Structure 1
Amino acid sequence: MEVAQVLHMKGGMGKTSYAKNSLLQLKVISLTKPIAEEAMTDLYCNKFPTSIAIADLGCSSGPNTLFTVSELIKLVEKLCRSLNQQSPEYKVFLSDLPGNDFNTVFKSLGSFKKNLGNEIMGGFGPCYFNGVPGSFYGRVFPSKSLHFVHSSYSLQWLSQVPEGIENNKANIYIDKASPPNVLRAYYEQFQKDFSLFLKCRAEEIVYEGRMVLTFLGRRSEDPSSKEGCYIWKLLAIALNDMVLEGLIEEEQLDSFNVPMYTPSPSEVKLEVIKEGSFTINHLQTSEVSWNAYDNELSLSEAFSDGGYNVASCIRAVAEPLLVSHFNEGIIDEVFRRYQEIVADRMSKEKTEYINVTVSLTKKI
């Protein structure tokens, strides 16, 4: 599997698109917003730059894509007014893998600028947008060109499926039943990828530039704990059931593994320290319910719709990967079964995603 070619959220504005099923990701961005705002406040008040270059890595498409950028611009404009400073110009870089639906993003820029102008009394500085396709596990921007880098729910994705995990049969990710070499291979791939990410960003970010990263992660030091694996284990159950019924070939399932790793805070911290280019300002965990609508529905509605909401969210994320390995014909049936399995588990236990957020400052 060439991850850079097939990994992307489901594009467009259809019923099963990422744009229509990304409330969970918006909640995570909102939850970690104070950390990003503190980082931008420190950056601006220490330097009063006349131009600010902001990069959002893993921007995807849909309503979330410009949310962080919008909030950061509003914050800077508020600081400008309180400190009697001229508005800076903004250079915004929206980056994702080549398969991302950049067209939907570009079509939304006109309304974004208009709405932002209505929200900021007195207007805001000139704002220039750039779409930057490419893998962030390599250089993406010119040297010392960025002031602020943001990434949410992207860095748990690996550059490739780890090598040497052919014996991870009947699983599609790390599981309690996975052999020890599988856990080790996933962790080593995360170490390699995240270290490379830090090295590349260190070359692209200015001195004392800031970076705020949020991973889908875990609190436990056990990589096979439910915190990071359960959502994929339930998908594996649906796929295995289809194997038993002859709807999927067993060899197909055995050769499919999800290219991601949900790190613990200590694993993130270790790689930052080892790479050496950044100072850690904050490192914390938070949690959000699997069902993004939990606080917006009545208790009965949340239970009845929870399986559908979670399955729709995971489908918007995982469908391109599944289609590339299996075929498009199985997708509806896989997620019909998955929805039932998820709804059953949610009715019996508390289900949460764990987020790991780190705020960094570039050293000299």
Structure 2
Amino acid sequence: MGMDAVNVLHMNSGDGESSYANNSLVQETVLREAQPVLRQTIKDIAKSDDMFGQCFKIADLGCSSGPNTLLTASNIIDMVHEASKENNRKTPQFQVCLNDLYGNDFNSVFESLPTFLAKLKEEKGESFGPCFVSAVPGSFYDRLFPDDSLHLVHSSYSLHWLSQVPKGLEKNTSHIYVARTSPTEVFEAYQKQYATDFTMFLQARAKELVPGGRMVLTLMGRKLSDLAIDDCGVGWEVLAQTLLDMAKQGLVKESDVDSFNMPYYNPCEDEIRDVIEKEGSFSLDVVSTFRGNWDALDKDYTSTKASSELSIRHGKNTAKMVRACLEPLLAIHFGSSVIDKLFENYGKRVAEHLAVEKTRHYNIAISLTKK
């Protein structure tokens, strides 16, 4: 995949069965889990006079489309309103800037705006706000806003996507991400690409935030610094195995599997800290971590494996979620005719895996202040 992820990476649009709008419960669960970090950050902001002036400017980076897009804005507005009341201040006006890549389904976001704004008026009263919403398409690894124009930057479940597939992965055959048997240069290439991208992200935001401005970022990470023994890549291994099975059946080319790699990386906490310290514009205030099941409808966190009956359901749900995020990327590389079969098989393989071991996502939420 030589092309930039920027042009092809977007979630499935519309509201069909495999649309992101109908398969984004994992992301919603993560938003809810990270709320305490966001709430504390907004409480801190509320203590400063400059921040809650005339207009509070928020950017949600990697907003995607579907029910979660305005959920974040709505949560932030509620929290700011609450914090203003606690500090006996008038609630400021709001400017919410929704950002995602050019292929994002912004139209469906705009269609849900009238309901969103009407609900705000109804809940908060006529004198509240007003709230202005705009879309800012583009990659958040570049500049998106004028200097010193934002008070709060929020991003959930977007920063594990890289700006491109790392260079130098030729030897990563039969894998689509870092696997236990990947050569060390594959791990190093991913690490390097992540450090480059996250540095660019911080540099751009450092210019766009006002002094003392805050960021709350949540992403998929990993617990152990050794990627080879951490389980964060297991889901991609299962997908690679599914593709290799299909290559054996002649449904996809083996050379296509060998040349496909994910523009994605799970950093560990040390890597995140390291980039923040080296870049130097931000101080890291809070780090919070939590686990999530592959299938967001699976609320069982005590079992280490799923019963075979349940694992089939979890497999199907996981496959739907992954499809909603990856279909555009996979269709360009392998052709759209194999997608249905691929995810049907992937769901079965996930079910087999979860019946043996319930692997979970490891999520990291951080709060930063611009120095």
Contact 1:265 1:284 (8 Å CA) reproduced: no
Residues 1:171 and 2:179 aligned together: no
The one of 8, 18, 22 equivalent to 1:20 is: 22
Matched residue, 1:215: 219
Structure 2 distance, partners of 1:280, 1:238, is 40
Matched residue, 1:227: 231
The one of 130, 134, 147 equivalent to 2:138 is: 134
Matched residue, 1:98: 102
| CA spacing shift, 1:39–1:301, aligned 2, 3 Å | farther
TM-score by length of 1: 0.96
Contact 1:265 1:285 (8 Å CA) reproduced: no
How do residues 115-194 of structure 1 correspond to structure 2 at under 5 angstroms? 115-120=119-124, 124-194=128-198
Structure 2 distance, partners of 1:210, 1:13, is 33
Matched residue, 1:348: 356
Contact 1:80 1:87 (8 Å CA) reproduced: yes
Q: Shift of the alpha carbon at 1:226?
A: 4.2
Contact 1:141 1:204 (8 Å CA) reproduced: yes
Write out the 4+ residue segments of structure 1 that deviate beyond 4 Å after TM superposition: 298-302
Secondary structure at 2:21 match in 1? coil
Contact 2:46 2:87 (8 Å CA) reproduced: no
Structure 2 distance, partners of 1:220, 1:119, is 44
Structure 1 residues 134-171: Cα deviation after superposition (integer angstroms, max 9, x where no partner): 00111111101000000011001111111111111011
Residues 1:281 and 2:293 aligned together: no
TM-score by length of 2: 0.94
Q: Shift of the alpha carbon at 1:351?
A: 1.8
The one of 4, 7, 12 equivalent to 2:6 is: 4
Structure 2 distance, partners of 1:349, 1:82, is 46
Residues 1:256 and 2:260 aligned together: yes
Structure 1 distance, partners of 2:230, 2:239, is 13
Q: Shift of the alpha carbon at 1:49?
A: 2.0
Q: 1:264 corresponds to which letter in structure 2?
A: C
Secondary structure at 1:189 match in 2? helix
Matched residue, 1:38: 40
Structure 1 distance, partners of 2:39, 2:153, is 12
Q: Shift of the alpha carbon at 1:117?
A: 2.9
Q: Percent identity?
A: 45
Contact 1:170 1:236 (8 Å CA) reproduced: yes
Secondary structure at 2:232 match in 1? helix
Q: Shift of the alpha carbon at 1:37?
A: 1.1
Q: 1:271 corresponds to which letter in structure 2?
A: V
Q: 1:308 corresponds to which letter in structure 2?
A: K
Structure 1 distance, partners of 2:307, 2:77, is 37
Structure 2 distance, partners of 1:63, 1:172, is 30
How do residues 198-213 of structure 1 correspond to structure 2 at under 5 angstroms? 198-213=202-217
Structure 1 distance, partners of 2:109, 2:69, is 7
Structure 1 residues 250-290: Cα deviation after superposition (integer angstroms, max 9, x where no partner): 11111110001100011001000000000110012111111
Secondary structure at 1:182 match in 2? helix
Matched residue, 1:324: 332
| CA spacing shift, 1:275–1:247, aligned 2, 3 Å | same
Q: Which consecutive residues of structure 2, in runs of 5 or more, have no partner in the other structure?
A: 301-305
Structure 1 residues 195-254: Cα deviation after superposition (integer angstroms, max 9, x where no partner): 111011000000110001111111110123343201111000100001111111111111
Secondary structure at 2:56 match in 1? strand
| CA spacing shift, 1:72–1:176, aligned 2, 3 Å | same
Secondary structure at 1:108 match in 2? helix
Contact 1:77 1:124 (8 Å CA) reproduced: no
Q: Please say which of residues 45-54 and 175-184 is displaced more in the overlay.
A: 45-54
Q: Please say which of residues 146-155 and 344-353 is displaced more in the overlay.
A: 344-353
Matched residue, 1:83: 87
Contact 2:23 2:320 (8 Å CA) reproduced: yes
| CA spacing shift, 1:200–1:119, aligned 2, 3 Å | same
| CA spacing shift, 1:129–1:290, aligned 2, 3 Å | same
RMSD of the TM alignment (CA)?
1.7
Q: Which consecutive residues of structure 1, in runs of 5 or more, have no partner in the other structure?
A: none
Matched residue, 1:362: 370
Secondary structure at 1:36 match in 2? helix
| CA spacing shift, 1:63–1:45, aligned 2, 3 Å | same
Secondary structure at 1:9 match in 2? coil
Q: 1:239 corresponds to which letter in structure 2?
A: L
Q: 2:354 corresponds to which letter in structure 1?
A: M
Contact 2:168 2:186 (8 Å CA) reproduced: yes
Q: Shift of the alpha carbon at 1:52?
A: 0.6
Structure 2 distance, partners of 1:339, 1:331, is 12
Structure 1 distance, partners of 2:346, 2:26, is 18
